[in-house]
Amino acid sequence: MNANKLKIRYCHPRYWLTWMGILALFLSSLLPFSLLLLMGKLLGRCGYYIAKSRRRIAHRNIELCFPDFSTLEVEQKVMHNFENAGIALFEMAMAWFWPSWRIRSILKVRGLEHLQQAKQNGKGIIFLGAHFLTLEMGGRGLGLTNPTFAVYRKHSNPVLDYYFHWGRMRNQKGMVDRKDLKGMIRILKEGESLWYAPDHDYGRHKSSVFAPFFNVENANTVAGTSTLARVKNSCVIPAFLRRLPESRWL
């Protein structure tokens, strides 16, 4: 659990650009939602043409996962991904700075019966997530639905780390470092809930596994979910957020 606090050293000139970025995020959060979606799309399209190395990586990933796609289909998917990446930046501002009532006004929740059943049975709950572009808003939406503990990775920039921690603590019970396995197990044994996203590739280590992923036979990931799921009286509930066409989230 992290007790993040602002420190005077964060005023150092090396962090001024970071502070300017955070101020820009806050100011953007005051704009209408429809405008933020448009700005996000435009920003993503700019990124498509500027971030050439990222664009090549995205192209290759889509080609590997969907070998039957035509060149045009791959191009469309990559552009769509960049557009959503731009939207994700503004969604982060919303997740950090929007009041709860504003998020609830555009949030739909489905599958609450599974959560209610698990809680009635006194189970510790692993909310299984993934590092999708809706990550930040997904965490805030989950906290509004069921305050939980979230697994996180410390950021190298201490100012950003403070705001990531502060923003993700909105409506949540606490944060757990991704290396604190004992802390995660303790939370589940106490009948609490834990948001966990195990889809990163950390390279070869003792908890790595290789599994099929779309058309890729051996994709590297971690086996942390199976370890946590073995905790007595715990269960796994997938928890994902997606953007709906009518500018809402599910």
pLDDT value for 65? 92
pLDDT value for 3? 52
**Has residue 41 got a pLDDT over 80?**
yes
**Has residue 202 got a pLDDT over 90?**
no
Strand partners, 150: 175, 195
**Is the whole model's pTM more than 0.75, yes or no?**
yes
Q: Are 168 and 151 in contact (CB under 8 A)?
A: no
Model confidence band, residue 179 (pLDDT cutoffs 50, 70, 90): confident
pLDDT value for 1? 46
- Of 242 and 91, which is predicted with more confidence? 91
pLDDT value for 226? 86
pLDDT value for 249? 53
pLDDT value for 217? 85
